[in-house]
């Protein structure tokens, strides 16, 4: 296992400035957000001009890209955009594509078909799809997520433990999906607050790392936090990196 960081942690900086800041904080691996809303790169632009997108990623300040987080909700050419982002990932040496599950209430068979198509498109380029665990989506609980994986061969999971803590009277189990985990998003969380300063929440980082090690997980632990008003984001990112590295 190794520590990485998402560019989503620095939404107010350009991609170039975000990379400079993350390099200064001594991260060596990075997850790139390619989101239509608020992303450092836009899927529509990646699809329209792939060469420009590759050029935009030409200077990553020696940070190694290890995942691309893709989001382009409601786009009529959704699958074309996803394929374009897969090709970008391939050009950057990235293996993991992080995607969102559909919203709760979506027909289960329809979600199976959508995920099957994403897995097929990515597999053709040697990539892996990791669907994110998230409240309000089809991956809101571990059992449904595990069922998706059983019905979509090759589908992986991007585990975000915060969604198994926030809003619950006590943390719920994600043990049934651990064998499917291909990527991890981390921040600290309490039952009544989705994100708190590192060390003030209920995320048991040591237990998480131990469980992942026992499952044979060898990929990234990606710091994935949003700025907190009045708190130094850089200091929080550095503390989280040091905490995770101390556990590895």
Can you give the residue ranges of every domain in the chain?
2-247
- Given a contact cutoff of 8 angstroms between Cβ atoms, the answer to whether 245 and 209 are in contact is no
Closest CA to 25 of 181, 225, 190: 225
- Given a contact cutoff of 8 angstroms between Cβ atoms, the answer to whether 21 and 13 are in contact is yes
Asked if pLDDT for residue 237 goes beyond 80, the answer is: yes
2-247 — its CATH code?
A: 3.20.20.150
Which pair of structure tokens corresponds to residue 54?
A: 């590759």
In the chain, the percentage of residues whose pLDDT exceeds 70 is 100
Q: Which residue has the tokens 């090709």?
A: 87
pLDDT tens profile 166-222: 988 877 888 899 999 999 999 999 999 999 999 899 999 999 999 999 999 999 999
Closest CA to 34 of 76, 73, 77: 73
Q: What is the pLDDT of residue 57?
A: 87
Q: What is the DSSP string of 22-65?
A: HHHTT--EEEEEEETTT-SB-HHHHHH-HHHHHHHTS--TTPEE
Strand partners, 181: 157
Q: What is the pLDDT of residue 62?
A: 84
pLDDT tens profile 85-136: 999 999 999 999 999 999 999 999 999 999 999 999 999 999 999 999 999 9
Q: How far apart are CA 10 and CA 18, in angstroms?
A: 6
pLDDT band with cut points at 50, 70 and 90 for residue 56: confident
Q: What is the DSSP string of 137-168?
A: BTTSSHHHHHHHHHHSTT-EEEE-GGGGTTTS
Angle, in degrees to the nearest 10, between helices 233-247 and 205-214: 50
More confident residue, 74 or 94: 94
pLDDT band with cut points at 50, 70 and 90 for residue 32: very high
- Given a contact cutoff of 8 angstroms between Cβ atoms, the answer to whether 203 and 188 are in contact is yes
pLDDT band with cut points at 50, 70 and 90 for residue 156: very high
In the chain, the percentage of residues whose pLDDT exceeds 90 is 88
Asked if pLDDT for residue 33 goes beyond 90, the answer is: yes
Q: What is the pLDDT of residue 10?
A: 96
pLDDT band with cut points at 50, 70 and 90 for residue 60: confident
Which of 71-75, 129-133, 212-216, 230-234 has the least mean pLDDT?
71-75
**240 three-state secondary structure:** helix
Q: What is the pLDDT of residue 58?
A: 80
C-alpha dist (Å) from residue 44 to 82, 95, 111? 9, 21, 22
Average pLDDT, rounded, for the chain: 94
């Amino acid at each position: 296992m190794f520590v990485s960081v998402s560019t989503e942690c620095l939404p107010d900086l350009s991609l170039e400035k975000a990379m400079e800041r993350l390099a200064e904080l001594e991260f060596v691996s990075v997850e790139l957000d390619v989101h239509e809303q608020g992303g450092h790169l836009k899927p529509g632009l990646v699809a329209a001009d792939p060469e420009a997108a590759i050029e935009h990623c030409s200077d990553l300040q020696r940070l190694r890209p290890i995942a691309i987080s893709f989001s382009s909700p409601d786009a009529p050419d959704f699958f074309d955009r996803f394929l374009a982002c897969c090709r970008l990932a391939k050009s950057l040496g990235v293996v993991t594509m992080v995607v969102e599950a559909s919203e709760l209430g979506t027909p289960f068979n329809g979600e199976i078909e959508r995920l099957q198509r994403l897995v097929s498109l990515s597999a053709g380029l040697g990539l892996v799809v990791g669907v994110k665990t998230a409240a309000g989506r089809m991956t809101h609980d571990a059992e449904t997520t595990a069922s998706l994986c059983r019905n979509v061969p090759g589908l992986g999971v991007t585990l975000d433990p915060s969604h198994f803590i926030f809003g619950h009277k006590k943390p719920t189990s994600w043990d049934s999906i651990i064998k499917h985990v291909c990527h991890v998003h981390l921040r600290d969380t309490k039952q009544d607050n989705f994100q708190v300063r590192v060390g003030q929440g209920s995320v048991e980082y040591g237990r998480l790392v131990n469980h992942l090690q026992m499952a044979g997980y060898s990929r990234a632990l990606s710091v994935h936090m949003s700025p907190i008003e009045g708190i130094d984001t850089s200091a929080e990112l550095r503390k989280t990196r040091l905490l995770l590295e101390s556990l590895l």
